[in-house]
A and B are shown apart, each in its own frame.
Chain A
Amino acid sequence: MTEVDRTQQRPDEVTLTIDGIEVTAPKGALLIRVAEQLGIEIPRFCEHPLLDPVGACRQCLVDIEGQRKPVTSCTTPVADGMVVRSHLSSQVADKAQQGIMEFLLINHPLDCPTCDKGGECPLQNQAMSTGRADSRFRDAKRTFPKPINISTQVLLDRERCIQCTRCTRFSDQIAGDPFIEFMDRTSAEQVNVYRDEFFGGEPGGDLASHTEMGDEPFQSYFSGNTIQICPVGALTSVQYRFRARPFDLVSSPSVCEHCAAGCAQRTDHRRGKVMRRLAGDDPAVNEEWDCDKGRFGFRYASATERITEPMVRDAATGELRTASWSEALAAAADGLRAARDAESGPAGVGVLTGGRLTVEDAYAYSKFARVALRTNDIDFRARPGSAEEADFLASSVIGAQVSYREVEAAPAVVLAALEPEEECPILFLRLRKARRKGLAGGWSHGQQVHAIAPMRTRGYDKLGARLVPCVPGGEAELLAGDEAVAQALSQPGAVLLVGERLATVPGGLSAAAALAARTGAKLAWVPRRAGERGALEVGCLPQLLPGGRPVAEAAARAEIAAAWGLPAGVLDGRPGRDSTAMLAAAADGTLGALLVAGVDPADLPEPRLARQALAQVPFVVSVEMRRSAVTRYADVVLPVAPVVEKAGSFVNWAGQLRRFERVLSTGAVPDLRILDSLAAQLGVALGCGEVSAIRAELAGLPATAVPAPAAPSVAPAAAPEPGDGRAVLATWHQLLDLGTLLDGNEELAGTARPAVLRLGKRLAAALQVGDGDPVTVGTATGAVTLPVEVTEMVDGVVWLPTNSPGATVRRSLGAVGGATVTVSAGGGA
């Protein structure tokens, strides 16, 4: 034992020696971590800092003085006075590691040149650092049929597997989807999914269609992470398999555009084409994980119908034709100017920005609308919203920060109109982490999630959530009056998370704001789309200017006018119209033009009204990436860069700014450049031509002196009570659905949860239907028929996925959650 100087040591620390270097470390820290901090890299495979230690691969053996045999540094906590020798200073440890490496390689195929992992493979790398140059193994290696699908997206080459259990531990511990598990034993031990044939059923179950027999594919929203953490090439994706070599790829940091989680990602590309995306490492947001939508959902940018050149509608043929940028910009400017300046007839321009813009692009729209179009008719909400929601966002969300870490540490989390696994998967993982930590510390000490929802879901179950049963539309009443919920939120550090769907419940957001104020709980608004929070912050709302400044407040307008160098009177003090009002005005012929950026009419609360409006309004400028339902009606189409081809930022639900730079350099231009040019055509110097200029301008905006408006106080609506033969509709989006950003991803679509209609036992009995039977939900607009899954849920409620195959609720039913619908057994009729 060496002498240890304990004068600097805190009571929760220990001092030990590794390879002769003395180090002080927190009690309970694992040896392998502490060695890492000294720069001593001990080879390892099963060890992963975010997974429970398992000690299975035995690669990280080190020698500890006083121990009879080498011990695994990944499972051994440091102790005071411990004297450790790694392979760097101990022959025993070195020999042990070499021995394990040789064992690992005897059954590992020598197919590195054709293996996707080759070049970035921990086994390959550590075989070079810790292995022998020649193998002593002269016998037969184990073989398996290969590869096999464990889902439509994930492939498994079992003979490459080194049984480290990272994938199975991830699926079980992190995602809560233990669909993959080890089967068989000894050298035949293999990862697999449940298949009937293992238990006497027929072989050959086709996992490509997950309705087949009893086989259970790896149906997890997080399956891609197992590919990333696999230390060999056993798990690969159909999407990337055999597409590239890691050393030919350029890796660029990026931020995911799919939801409001704001995940750090790594985009790997080659010769101007994205080959794959990986989860980036950001402990404050996504740790090292991402969801499959973020990982695999990048094909939309290169899917069919990408627009690469501007188009204008030909006056002679009435068809869109390719045009030069100058012609198209001039035509767009002319149309917008005419509408803006019209004295009679249809007048004014409405701006619909969708929820997917970067902060910088959204800011350009916000400024363009106010300065160039001189209107407050701008709304980022391409979904059901309300005036109450706008007030809530202005009063309670602008500038608010509730971090992932606070959510993780919260003793109680209340979810209202939010199913995090479907609507914000990385938030879900953080809640699950809190749940697991709680379980490890004893059942009574963990985080308790309370879900105000009509039914238990797989996601809620995985969080161990307590269901606060609620008929859709009744959320407001519960938030206003439920004692248990209020009590939970009264604990210091408790968090109330509300989803964007709460906007459709009159009084819901008012009650949420009031509840948070009353209990002292933190409040966060979790929208689905990546750009919503950013658009809100920069004023893409009819009554808000950038920084949450109310349009109606003269002082607020003065602040912005000063920042933008505008004379008094340019900024209109009358709040504008929201999306629905703009569309209604367009449909009834009073609006002069629409400027539409990345909006799918099918996402709007009334798709029919949207189509009518687009058809009716005299002039439509569509800023789009691919041909869409909007470009069909457009007079001018301006092609725009997808996220991967531009720089920008998102603000995630937690209020964190997630900045990213351009990954692919193409000729595609971002929205902000188009707006800058359009403004120039309209005689306005917008100053928005570059991302850097906007970032500087945003940074230079002074803090507002105008107090935030008071939270809305709409009285809570009573839960709807359907009559006979009718039910209340519950609906939300499934993570993997018909969303346009998932276009071109068939393998990923195959891992989506099947679209089913859910109803309770009593309703099922009344309709005399069971699992799998067709049931039809109808409104005045139309009907949706789906197979039933009888689910434990609130009486008198039916649930449909909002936008999944066979269930396009907004388009087919024209309804939102809380609507009263008819329910009947059988299909259609």
Chain B
Amino acid sequence: MSAVTTPSADALAQLTPVLTKRWLSPEAWRLEVYETLDGYAALRKALAAHPDDLIQLVKDSGLRGRGGAGFPAGMKWGFIPQEPDGQQPSKPHYLVVNADEGEPGTCKDLPLMMTDPHSLIEGIIIASYAIRAHQAFIYVRGEAVHAARRLRHAVAEARRAGYLGRNILDSGFDLDVVVHSGAGAYICGEETALLDSLEGFRGQPRLRPPFPATHGLYASPTVVNNVETIATVPYIVLGGSQWFRSMGTEKSPGPKIFSVSGRVNNPGQYECALGTTLRQLIELAGGMQDGHRLRFWTPGGSSTPLLTDEHLDVPMDFEGMMAAGTLLGTTAVQVFSDADCPVYAAYRWMEFYHHESCGKCTPCREGNYWMKQVLWRILTGRGTHEDLDTLLDACDNLLGRAFCALGDGAAAPVMSSIQYFKQDYLDYIEGRTAPMFAPDPEAEALVGAYR
């Protein structure tokens, strides 16, 4: 068995249990437990404030979207056109929570919704109040039936307790929340595809502009935020923007749930200040498994270019990751060791992107289909040197040419794995590594239409 190492003091100091603070409390998902643990205290405070002040508060806190892109949440809220006080808007406003957590390696929103659903609902009420929405939706990943059930239960509890419905806590504010299950498509995590899916259409990204802030759900002003972003809001209301900024870095303030998986002793969620390094995260996760040495890792899921052991001390915030040539993404840290093959990893990810491409635009639909087959050929010992050039050029033609970010994400593992581990590819191509698989003529003949 692997020896679990103790984290250093320096790593422990990075821990900032804010969103995860109730996760170990038994049955924190029940309303009465939640209420005993500061639950709905922020809501009372928020409802006493002017909505514009809440937007300003979130702006001041510097909270950036936790869904991957890191767009400032307060600025997004501020884009919603607002009428003067007392005047009804011509179109309703909507808040949509993106709970379609599907990025490979990411597992932060689902545990949050399972252990602490009321923190999300409290955040939803505050955010809706701030943007003057009276209807909110939680779009839950189709496969996560358990999370949808727990959320529905929590919404019902909140409604019974008067946190949802008409005249919430005598504030005069009305809000209802619908928990909607998707149909199992990665693309519906893209906010406009999510909106189409929520409207009952085929989930494919929409042309922008117009942006959701003016033409979102049912062509009405809409804010789409990630679960973690919204769940952070009550803590900012309670703690204030200065407190929030006491964690993390200047441009990437606050705590963040890192999903650490792979060759570590204690995979799981570690909530740390933004700017924490991989070295610290591995320490917190009990160190590398015995006999495994870090070889490569993803900072934020498979859509973020790989990093290597050279990057153990790069601060994991939006700027630090950008400087290292990758992205912070959803802080899904997947740790791979020298026992793992980067070529095979790239192939598996490419299978995923091929499977999940919505088909709308050419580069993503065709490029992934192509690259998957090239990678398979390399793994089955039939690769050529030209294949490497072809892969890189195909990525070049895909990156920044696709309709939405899914295409960019698909190019990331291929480009970065070739960048750092070209020799692994060459070893397959030149026969130094034995083929990982035997060719499968039957499956290959059907490739495309039905695979």
Binding site for B on A (CB under 8 A): 53-59, 61, 68-70, 75, 95-96, 98-100, 102-104, 106-107, 136-144, 162-163, 181-182, 184-189
Contacts and interface: CB of A to CB of B under 8 A. Distances in A.
Which secondary structure dominates where chain A touches chain B? loop
Contacts of A107: 366, 369, 448
B107 interface: no
Given A99-B363, A144-B449, A188-B448, 11 more contacts: A58-B362, A69-B400, A99-B396, A103-B398, A182-B359, A186-B357, A186-B368, A186-B369, A187-B359, A187-B365, A189-B358
B354 interface: yes
A56 B398 CA distance: 13
A31 to B, nearest CB: 14
B48 interface: no
Contacts of B360: 56, 163
Contacts of B23: none
Contact of B449 (A70, A162, A187): A187
Interface in B348-393: 354-363, 365-370, 373-374, 377, 386, 390, 393
Interface in B8-27: none
Chain B interface bracket (under 10, 10 to 19, 20 to 34, 35 or more): 35 or more
15 contacts: A54-B207, A55-B207, A56-B360, A95-B396, A102-B397, A139-B447, A140-B444, A141-B448, A142-B449, A163-B359, A163-B365, A186-B357, A186-B369, A187-B359, A187-B365
Given A69-B400, A75-B207, A142-B369, A182 B202 contact: yes
B207 A59 contact: no
> Which of A58, A69, A142 has most chain B Cβ within 10 Å?
A58
B400 A104 contact: no
A53 B363 contact: no
B401 A96 contact: yes
A143 B359 contact: no
A655 B337 CA distance: 79
B332 to A, nearest CB: 22
Contacts of A103: 362-363, 365-367, 370, 394, 397-398
Interface string B390-421: 10011011101111000000000000000000
Nearest to B185: A185
B418 to A, nearest CB: 16
B97 to A, nearest CB: 24
Contacts of B402: 58
> Which of B185, B393, B394, B397 has most chain A Cβ within 10 Å?
B397
Given A68-B400, A103-B397, A186-B354, A57 B444 contact: no
A576 B355 CA distance: 75
B311 to A, nearest CB: 24
A188 B390 contact: no
Given A185-B185, A186-B356, A100 B363 contact: yes
Contact of A140 (B202, B393, B448): B448
Nearest to A72: B403
Contacts of A54: 207
> Which of B356, B373, B377 has most chain A Cβ within 10 Å?
B373
Contacts of A95: 396-397
Contacts of A102: 397
Nearest to B359: A189
Given A107-B448, A140-B445, A142-B447, A186 B365 contact: yes
B357 A185 contact: yes
B369 A57 contact: no
Nearest to B360: A56
A137 B370 contact: yes
A70 B400 contact: yes
Contacts of A143: 448-449
B148 to A, nearest CB: 22
Contacts of B450: 188
A162 B354 contact: no
Contacts of B400: 68-70
Contacts of A106: 366, 369-370
A140 B355 contact: no
A57 B360 CA distance: 8
